[in-house]
């Protein structure tokens, strides 16, 4: 079977693939996973489920959500796959999901699956600092270990982080601070860190890339980007903040209006299979499935073995419900 891999840049192909009733064996999937990941995962899924044709539309998280909401009266997707849980919990999206207990879902911890069985999350991503060691030494500054450390005047003009209004990574970072410290103290810390901020980027990985090349000393970014940079030989160190290590889950769910629910369910089962787990370990650092072996590059980067000891217990429902208000207040206080 062929596997159309559709993007927003191919509207005619998308329209052709999604128009009319679904054919037997066709499953339409909306995802916000990265292109490279999608291609690897779908290749593995195709090998395990050769009788299914996967029509995959990959968009940014915001665009996936907007499309699902816009299609509420006539849903086109069978499956939502690898979608930020904070966004999945939006009632306009969550209410379009159908309960389904995928095979193997009971192996996930309770925080990684929905009590109502409308979503589960086998993977996710977490925030981390990328610290350029030669630049830090040149500054004569200490190694930061927490968000609070970033207020040190030694880092003035040396910190970069994502804009929470345009980056899910940026949002999970400030959401963790606010949930951990409370509104008053949290906003005070965010404002104090801002005094050292060189710029806010639209990309979650960009701050780490900037730290890798020595443009800035510290990039508040993603742990996976840091791990990739270390693997590529950049002189950086990954730091998981000791106070509020925010993270996001990438959730899967069955659309209530799925036109091919049987094969959609088979795909969702596959996302919890050993075959899927083997591919996750190549692309993800935060894998919630038990028993997935750690890759060599995670070991080399010093990625913690016990994530429960470092991850801040995010309230994803609150993150989603308060998102617009938090971003609006952030823009008032520190937005540039």
The pTM (predicted TM-score) of the whole model is: 0.83
CATH 3.40.190.10 positions along the chain are 5-124+249-293, 125-247+300-333
Interhelix angle 183-194/168-181, nearest 10 degrees: 130
* Overall residue count recorded for the chain in this entry: 336
pLDDT tens by residue, the chain, 336 residues: 445 445 433 332 343 344 444 455 899 999 999 888 999 999 999 999 999 999 999 998 888 999 999 999 899 999 999 999 998 999 999 999 999 999 999 999 998 999 999 999 999 999 999 999 999 999 999 999 999 999 999 999 999 999 998 888 899 999 999 999 999 999 999 999 999 999 999 888 999 999 999 999 999 999 989 999 999 999 999 999 999 999 999 999 999 999 999 999 999 999 999 999 999 988 888 899 988 877 778 877 888 777 777 889 999 989 988 988 999 999 999 976
| pLDDT at residue 299, as a whole number | 79
| pLDDT at residue 2, as a whole number | 41
C-alpha to C-alpha distance for 41 and 39, rounded to whole angstroms = 6
| pLDDT at residue 16, as a whole number | 37
| pLDDT at residue 131, as a whole number | 98
DSSP string computed for 233-270:
T-SEEEE--SS-B-EEEEEEEEETT-SSHHHHHHHHHH
Q: Where are the alpha helices (DSSP H) in 125-284?
A: 133-139, 168-181, 183-194, 206-212, 223-231, 261-270, 274-283
CATH class in words for 125-247+300-333:
alpha beta
| Backbone φ, ψ for residue 334 (5° rounding) | -135, -5
Specify the CATH architecture of the domain 5-124+249-293.
3-Layer(aba) Sandwich (3.40)
């Amino acid at each position: 079977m062929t596997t159309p891999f559709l993007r927003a840049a191919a509207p005619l192909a998308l329209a052709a693939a999604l128009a009319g009733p679904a054919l037997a064996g066709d499953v339409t999937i909306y995802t916000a996973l990265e292109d490279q990941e999608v291609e690897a995962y779908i290749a593995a899924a195709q090998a395990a489920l050769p009788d299914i044709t996967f029509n995959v539309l990959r968009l940014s998280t915001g665009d996936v959500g907007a499309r699902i909401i816009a299609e509420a009266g006539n849903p086109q997707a069978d499956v939502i796959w690898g979608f930020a849980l904070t966004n999945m919990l939006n009632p306009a999206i969550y209410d379009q999901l159908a309960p389904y207990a995928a095979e193997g879902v009971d192996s996930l911890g309770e925080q990684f699956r929905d009590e109502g069985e409308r979503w589960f999350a086998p993977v996710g991503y977490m925030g981390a600092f990328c610290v350029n060691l030669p630049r830090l030494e040149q500054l004569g500054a200490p190694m930061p270990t927490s968000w609070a450390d970033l207020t040190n005047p030694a880092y003035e003009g040396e910190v970069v982080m994502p804009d929470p209004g345009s980056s899910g990574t940026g949002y999970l970072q400030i959401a963790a601070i606010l949930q951990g410290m409370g509104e008053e103290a949290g906003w005070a810390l965010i404002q104090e860190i801002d005094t050292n901020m060189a710029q806010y980027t639209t990309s979650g990985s960009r701050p780490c890339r900037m730290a890798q090349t020595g443009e800035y000393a510290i990039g508040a970014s993603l742990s996976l980007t840091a791990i990739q940079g270390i693997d590529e030989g950049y002189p950086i160190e990954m730091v998981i903040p000791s106070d509020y290590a925010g993270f996001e889950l990438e959730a899967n769910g069955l659309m209530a209006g799925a036109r091919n629910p049987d094969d959609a369910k088979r795909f969702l089962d596959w996302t919890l299979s050993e075959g899927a787990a083997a591919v996750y370990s190549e692309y993800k650092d935060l894998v919630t499935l038990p028993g997935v072996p750690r890759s060599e590059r995670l070991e080399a980067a010093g990625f913690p073995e016990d994530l429960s000891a470092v991850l801040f217990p995010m309230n994803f429902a609150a993150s989603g419900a308060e998102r617009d208000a938090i971003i609006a207040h952030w823009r008032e206080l520190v937005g540039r």
